[in-house]
């Protein structure tokens, strides 16, 4: 397996000289400064690739080539957006970038309610609190029908939290929920979020699936022509958020995605944290089932609570059996004769990480610890 590191380019507080000291050989990067729906110009891709390669790395994976919200909603006309997307793909292929990670989560990317939840022995981690999310939906956004998505116990805890929450607490919650959007992409205020949710009004799970299938039918043939591998990132968390359906959360969902356009180029980013947050998912079994279509792996771990809350664990110490997962991934890549790129994901903020102002979930020391642990397991299994 090939060690890679997510780097946010000029937007990143970490320099490539620091990343080099982690031992990772490859970089995962994107042109986050380009607005969604616009073409990634070949010259800009070439300049970023030169920057990465000059520091001694390969640019192994694009994460992400984002999908415009109009495509997810199924608005018309979409042909210009699909044309721009295909042109970006062609420009990436022209510059030797062959693996594209993306997601089909409506409106929000990964979602957390706490960016610095304290850990027992020091440091902090990302956390998703079901009561805080319920409070956000019910009392801050004011989403009708949100009560139906939560248990009575979670609703009671949400009321209690909101009753004592200050305006600063509420502002921090909004900031945390918005922080999953990558790079320099604009965050939502409560008012702009309400308007964005209105645009999705009435969109069902079947509607979103139909729009996703159209995207695959428009894009995967071009990927085949260009020699590109696409790999969808699972939903994070693997549950509906803000009343928006999420459709890449389980083994059945992934099976549907891969069958929608049954081609090797239509593949999966195997994120052990996203899939591990769903208690029904058996991750080693999923690797065995979908291993031929896994093009990229995010390796992290979560610790789940009975109410649907969870937080980032250590890479080897959460609820998922990382050793069994890595054993299955090594078997899958061996069967295919490839070196599968992976990266340590969402580390704890440890020691002086808190002063570096890195992107939430992407500290230096916390991810370095995770990479070292994963490297050790892989070496032992190999």
Determine the pLDDT at residue 283. 98
Residues 258 and 360 in one domain: yes
Q: Are residues 212 and 348 in the same domain?
A: yes
Same domain, 187 and 220: no
Residue 360 sits at the vertex; the CA angle it makes with 150 and 188, to the nearest 5 degrees, is: 60
Q: Is the pLDDT of residue 367 over 70?
A: yes
Q: Say which DSSP state 233 is in.
A: P
244 exposure class (CB count in 10 Å sphere: 0-12, 13-18, 19+):
middle
Q: Please write the tens of the pLDDT for every residue from 74-103.
A: 998 999 999 999 999 999 999 999 999 999
Whether residue 369 is found in the same domain as residue 345: yes
pLDDT in tens, 143-177: 999 999 999 999 999 999 999 999 999 999 999 99
H-type alpha helices, the chain = 16-20, 42-54, 69-73, 79-94, 130-135, 152-164, 167-178, 190-199, 205-226, 251-260, 272-276, 283-290, 322-336, 364-381
Banded model confidence at residue 182, pLDDT cuts 50, 70, 90: low
- Domain limit, last residue, from 169, 195, 221: 195
pLDDT tens digit sequence for 239-269: 999 999 999 999 999 999 999 999 999 999 9
> For position 361, which CATH number holds?
3.20.20.150
Residue 183 has pLDDT above 70, yes or no: no
Residues marked active site are found at 233, 271, 298, 345-346, 362
Both 122 and 99 in a single domain?
no
Q: Give the pLDDT confidence of 95-123 residue by residue, as tens digits.
A: 999 999 999 999 999 999 999 999 999 99
Q: Is 364 found in the same domain as 327?
A: yes
Looking at the fold, whether 184 and 130 belong to one and the same domain comes out as yes
Both 32 and 179 in one domain: the answer is no
Domain that holds residue 142: 114-195
Average pLDDT, the chain: 96
pLDDT of residue 184 exceeding 60, the answer is no
Share of the chain above pLDDT 90, in %: 95
pLDDT digits (tens, 9 = 90+) for 290-324: 999 999 999 999 999 999 999 999 999 999 999 99
Pair (189, 207) in one structural domain: no
Contacts of 44 (CB under 8 A, 6+ apart): 31, 34
* Claim to verify: residue 101 and residue 246 sit in the same structural domain: yes
pLDDT of res. 180:
82
pLDDT over 60 at 48, yes or no = yes
Tell me how many domains the chain contains.
2
Question: Which residue among 160, 176, 195 closes a domain?
Answer: 195
Of 129, 160, 195, the one marking the end of a domain is 195
Q: Are residues 182 and 257 in the same domain?
A: no
Residue 94 CA to residue 110 CA, distance in Å, equals 30
Residues 182 and 139 in one domain: yes
């Amino acid at each position: 397996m090939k060690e890679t590191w997510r780097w946010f380019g000029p937007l990143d507080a970490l320099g490539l000289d620091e990343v080099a000291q982690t031992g990772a050989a490859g970089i995962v990067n994107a042109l986050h400064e380009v607005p969604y729906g616009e073409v990634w110009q070949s010259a800009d891709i070439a300049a970023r690739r030169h920057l990465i390669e000059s520091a001694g790395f390969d640019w192994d994976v694009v994460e992400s080539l984002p999908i415009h919200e109009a495509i997810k909603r199924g608005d018309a006309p979409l042909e210009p957006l699909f044309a721009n997307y295909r042109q970006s793909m062609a420009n990436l292929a022209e510059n030797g970038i062959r693996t594209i990670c993306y997601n089909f989560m409506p409106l929000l990317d990964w979602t957390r309610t706490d960016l610095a939840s304290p850990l027992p022995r020091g440091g902090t981690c990302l956390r998703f609190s079901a009561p805080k999310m319920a409070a956000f939906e019910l009392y801050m956004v004011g989403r009708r029908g949100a009560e139906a998505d939560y248990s009575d116990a979670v609703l009671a805890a949400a009321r209690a939290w909101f009753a004592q929450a200050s305006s600063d607490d509420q502002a921090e919650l909004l900031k945390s929920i918005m922080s999953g959007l990558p790079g320099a992409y604009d965050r939502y205020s409560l008012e702009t979020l309400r308007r964005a949710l209105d645009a999705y009004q009435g969109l069902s799970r079947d509607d979103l699936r139909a729009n996703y299938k159209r995207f695959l039918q428009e894009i995967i043939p071009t990927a085949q022509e260009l020699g590109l591998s696409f790999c969808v990132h699972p939903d994070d968390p693997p549950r509906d958020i803000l009343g928006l359906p999420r459709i890449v959360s389980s083994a059945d969902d992934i099976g549907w995605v891969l069958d929608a356009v049954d081609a090797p180029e239509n593949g999966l980013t195997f994120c052990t944290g996203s899939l591990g947050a769903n208690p029904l998912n058996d991750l080693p079994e999923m690797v065995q089932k979908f291993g031929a279509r896994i093009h990229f792996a995010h390796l992290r771990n979560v610790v789940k609570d009975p109410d649907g809350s969870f937080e980032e664990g250590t890479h080897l110490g959460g609820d998922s059996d990382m050793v069994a997962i890595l054993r299955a991934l090594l078997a899958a890549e061996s069967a295919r004769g490839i070196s599968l790129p992976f990266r340590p994901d969402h580390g704890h903020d440890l020691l002086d990480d808190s002063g570096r102002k890195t992107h939430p979930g992407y500290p230096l020391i916390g991810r370095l610890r995770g990479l070292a642990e994963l490297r050790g397991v892989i070496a032992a299994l190999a």
